[in-house]
Chain A
Amino acid sequence: MKKTDTIIIGAGPVGLFAVHQLGIKGLKSIVIDNLDKAGGQCIELYPDKPIYDIPAVPECTGEELTDKLLEQIKPFKTDFFLNERVEEVKQDKENWIVKTNNNNEFLAPNIIIAGGVGSFEPRKLAIKEAEKFEEKSLFYAVKDKEKFKNKNISIFGGGDSALDWALELSKFSKINLIHRRDEFRGAPHTLSEIKKLEKEGKIYIKTPCQLDSIEGKDKIDSITIKFDDGKTEKIKTDVILSFFGLIMKLGPIAEWGLNMNKKTIEVNAENFETNKKGIFAAGDICSYPGKLKLILSGFHEVALASVECFKRARPNEKYRFEFTTSSKTIQGRLGKK
C-alpha cells in the first residue's frame, strides 16, 4: 500500500492543478485516471478546439492547456496511475484507502475527486446480441493487431479511429467500412488512401447504413446491415470493430456514500469537502449553489480544498497563507532559487 497526503482522482485540468496547489503547500499527492494520458475532457474531447476563457491566456487548445499544466507541476514529481479506475474507497480511522481495478492500494488522509463527468469508456453497440461477442469477436479497441490477421473484419464508425484501423488492418485482412452517412471525418490524406484501397478491392465501403443484426452462436458468422433506403445486406464477418467514441460513466463513485445531486457530488463552497470528512470534490463533478462548470472555477475549488487537505495531513502544523512571489519556502518547492 502506497501512502501519500492526497489521492487525486482524475487527471483533467482540475486534478492537475490540485497537484500544484497541494505541492506548493508541501503536500505529496498521487493521481489516478482511467484514460491512458493526462488531460481529461480537454485531451479526449477537444484537444484541438481553442479555449478562450482561461484567465491571462487569450487562446489555447485543450492539449496546450494540459501540456502547460503538466509543465507547471513538474517540480513535484508526482506519480500518475493511468489506465486505472478507482473501484473502492473505504475509511481507515482518520485515513482513506483507495483501491483500483489494477489492484493498487493507496492510503491518505485526503481524497480529491476531480472526476469530471466520470470515467471515459467506449460507447458500445446498441443491439442486444452485441454483448455476448464482446472481447471475443467484437472489440471497441485494438490492443494486439496480430489477432486481426486474415479475417473478415467489419469496422463501424466514420471518424479517425475507424479510418486509421481500416487502413492498417487492410494490409492483411478484408475490411468492410460501415458508416451511417456518406461523409467520413478524417485527415484528407487518410481519406484518399481509403478511396484508393476501395478501388483496389481491399476495403469495401458501405454507406449510408447501420448495423441491423449479428448472426452467430459462439462466434460471429455474419452481420446484417440496413441501408437508409430500407435494403439489407448480409456480410460475412469474423470480427466487428466498433468506433463510436467514448462516453463518460460515473461508475463506482455513486457507491461511496457521498451526497449526490443527479450525477454530481454535493460540496460546501468553503473548502469543497463532501459529506465525508477528508473527501473533497472539485471541477465539473461537484455541485453547490451557483456552480459553473468552467475550468477556472475548478482551479479556484482545488485551491481552497488544498488548504483543508493541509490541515488534515499536518494536524500539528499551523497553516500559513503564502504568496508564490514572496515565499522562499514555496520557491524552494518549485525548484527556484
Chain B
Amino acid sequence: MTTMTFKRIFTQYKILALLVAIALIWAFFSWKTDGGFTSARNLSNLMRQMSVTGILACGMVFVIIAGEIDLSIGSLLGLLGGMAAVLDVTHGLPLPLSVIIVLGAGLLCGFLNGYLTAYAGIPSFIVGLGGMLAYRGVVLGLTGGATVAPVSPGMEQLGQAYLPPLWGSILGIGLFVLTCVLVWRQRASQARHKLPVIPMWRSALRVVVAGAVLAGLISTFNSYEGIPLPVLILLVLLGVFSYIARQTVFGRRIYAVGSNMEATRLSGIDVRKVKLWIFGLMGLMCALAGLINTARLAAGSPSAGVSAELDVIAACFIGGTSMRGGAGTVHGALVGALVMASLDNGMSMLDVDAYWQMIVKGLILTLAVWLDVATRGNTR
C-alpha cells in the first residue's frame, strides 16, 4: 500500500521529481568542481547552451503529443543556420531581412514535412529520416562544406546579447505579479463554477515557489551581465507554447489527435491540417534555433545541429511526454532539456571523455523513461 501511494505521489508530482533530479545533478557537479559549476557565470552559460535544445523541444513536444516524430530537425537547424550565415556574410543582407527569410524558410520546410506526413500519408519517422539526409546535403552544398564566418555584429548580438539587470529585475517582478493574478483568477473561476477549489496552502505554495524560482533565476543572471537574449527568447516561447497547449482550440486538438486520431476525425476535426501546422511550428522553431546557434558561434557551420534531434527527443521523453502521444507538457520538456544541458555542461567542465558523456546521457534517458513507465503501469 505504501509503495502504491508513493507511486501515485510520484506520478502526480513527476515534475517535482525531475527538479529534485536536477538539484542532485547540480549538487554533484558543484561538489566536483568546487562550486565552479554553480557560479553565476557558468549557470548563465549553461542556460544559454540549453536555449537551442529548449527552443527545438518546444516544437517537438507538440509533434510527439500528436503521435508523430520529426528526426529531420538537427539537419534543418543546420540548413537554416547555414542559410542565415550565407545571407548575412556572403550577401550582406540587413539583419531583419535575413531573420524574416530564414523564419519563412523554416516554416516552409516544416510545412513540407507536415504535408508529406499528413496528406501524402508517409510515416513521419520516414519523412524525418529522409529530411535528415536531404537537408544536411543541402547545407553541405550551400556552404561548400566550409564554415561561413564571420557574421555581422548585429547577428552576433542575437546569440550573445544580455538584457540589462534593471530590465531583468522589472521583468521578474512583472512575471511574479502575473503569477499571482493567474493563481487568483484560477481560484475565483473554480469558486464560480462550484468546482472544488485548490486548498489555500497549495496556491500559496505555488506563489512562493514561483517567486523563489524567479528571484533565484533573475538574481543569478543579474550577478553576471543579465539575462542572455536566447534565454529570454526561450522563456517567451515557454509562455507562448504553454498558452497554446492549454488555452487554445489548436492546443486541445493536438492532444485529441495524438490520443485518438480516428475519434477526433469523426468529431469533425481536420486532423491533417492540425498536423500540418504542428510540423510548421516545428520548422519555425528550427529556424529560430538555427539563427541563435549561428549567432552564438558567430559562424555558420555545416555540421551545426548534428544529432540535435536526439537531445531534443530525449528532453521531451525525460520531461514526461507520452510515447504513444496524447499527453505531455511544454515545461516538462524544457526541464528535460535542462537535464540534458546540465549533464553536457558539467561533464565538459570535469573533462569527462566524450564517449563517457554519450554513455551517461544514454543511461539517463533510459532510466528516466523506465521510471516513467514503471510508475505509470500500475496506476489503473
To the question of whether A and B form a pair in one complex, the answer is: no
Interface residues of B (CB under 8 A from A): none
